[in-house]
Amino acid sequence: MSIVIALLGLGLLVFVHECGHFFASLAVGLRPRKFYVGFPPPLAKFRRGGIEYGVGTIPLGGFVSIPGMHRPIPNDAERRFFRAVAEAPALAGPVERVKRALAGDDLDLALDTLDALEEAMGGHTLSPAALASADKGLTELRDALGPDAYWKAATWRRLVAIGAGPVANIVLALVLLTVLFMTSAGKATSVVASVLPATPAQAAGLHAGDRVVAINGQAVAASGIALHISGSDGRPLTLTVVREGAVRRLVPVAARPSGGVYRLGFVLQGAGLGPLEAVGQAFRVTGAVSRPGAGGRTCRARSGSRRRHPTRSGKGRTATSGCWR
């Protein structure tokens, strides 16, 4: 099941990435010829508006085919037509004329020679492999010589078409993080969401729904709970909580080290941020994880932030609604 979820997640990232390339290319006048999620052979495909859309068998990426990624050269003709020439030597002349035209600067002449080659091919019987290669060569070379070829476009158009893929992924990350910060992961509260089993918090009698108001008799805000626990260095801690309207003083317990940090073993509920603050947090987190060598915590331990530790609890659980202490 985890493999399926991972492939679906990868598919979403690939789809968004290729959509960035696809729509940006259309916007700057570079009309793509194919849009695929997954690599060929195709599981399913269809054509619409001169563009082939498909889902590939190999779910490890995708592509948008933009015509004329490089200026056509004589070797492109040699590569695509050598089978046809081997089976029909009379095609050697038309192919040579195509190669000479590609070596020069007269692109209109190159298009004319392709038309002449296609006409000459019609008079010969070629094997399926040779015919398929030749037909693909005709299509690729005509696309590369056409007015919407990538290599002919202004530099800014090419930059937009190529750069839009990564930008689309960044925008997706910002949107998802903004939604996350606006719902439950914006900042921790002092209310306990859950207590991990076989932990000091459970031994102290802490329950889900308790609101932590003091540690060792000192009033504490939500932002200070983690600091008090992690800074205890294993000394006994006494939590004071509000449970069903009544103030309760729990049994003293000592925090245990986990991943280099002292913890009691409970998770605090999270609360959403306002739209502007959520967007700001989304930009901050995206920038932090995008930096080369970024790792470890995704958020610093400060007021109004979510903390995620690189080393999780021995039970393999993480704080999904707040901060784990």
- Over residues 274-324, the pLDDT tens digits come to 889 889 888 998 888 877 765 444 333 333 333 333 333 333 333 334 455
Q: What is the pTM of this model?
A: 0.69
Distance CA 295, CA 297 (A): 6
Mode of pairing for the β-strands spanning 239-243 and 211-215? antiparallel
Q: Is the predicted pLDDT of residue 48 greater than 90, yes or no?
A: yes
Mode of pairing for the β-strands spanning 218-219 and 211-215? antiparallel
User: Shortest CA distance to 278 belongs to which of 170, 193, 175, 189?
Assistant: 175
Domain 184-290 bears CATH identifier 2.30.42.10:
yes
Distance CA 3, CA 221 (A): 41
Beta bridge partners of residue 65, listed in sequence order: 34
pLDDT band at 325 (very low <50, low <70, confident <90, very high): low
Distance CA 282, CA 5 (A): 24
Q: Output phi, psi for 117, to 5 deg.
A: -65, -40
- Answer for the pair 236, 252: CB distance below 8 angstroms, yes or no: yes
What percent of the residues of the chain are helix, what percent strand, and what percent coil, each to the nearest 5? Answer: 45, 20, 30
Which percentage of the chain shows pLDDT scores above 70? 90
Q: Name the E strands within the chain.
A: 34-48, 51-65, 187-195, 211-215, 218-219, 236-237, 239-243, 246-249, 253-254, 256-258, 261-263, 266-271
Which phi-psi region, left, alpha or beta, contains residue 153 (left: φ > 0; alpha: ψ -120 to 50)?
beta
Q: Which of 51-55, 151-155, 171-175, 303-307 has the lowest mean pLDDT?
A: 303-307
The predicted structure's pLDDT at residue 308:
37
Cβ neighbours for 68, distance < 8 A, ≥ 6 positions apart: 143, 144, 145, 146, 148, 149, 150, 151, 152
The predicted structure's pLDDT at residue 244:
93
User: Shortest CA distance to 22 belongs to which of 159, 162, 140, 175?
Assistant: 162
Q: Model confidence over 225-247: pLDDT tens digits?
A: 999 999 999 999 999 999 999 99
User: Shortest CA distance to 253 belongs to which of 264, 240, 261, 268?
Assistant: 264
192 class by beta-carbon count within 10 Å (0-12 exposed, 13-18 middle, 19+ buried):
buried
Alpha-carbon dihedral 96, 102, 108, 111, rounded to 10 degrees:
60
Distance CA 100, CA 254 (A): 83
pLDDT mean across residues, the chain: 87
Distance CA 79, CA 97 (A): 15
Residues of the chain with CATH 2.30.42.10: 184-290
Distance CA 304, CA 268 (A): 13
Distance CA 248, CA 241 (A): 5
The predicted structure's pLDDT at residue 206:
96
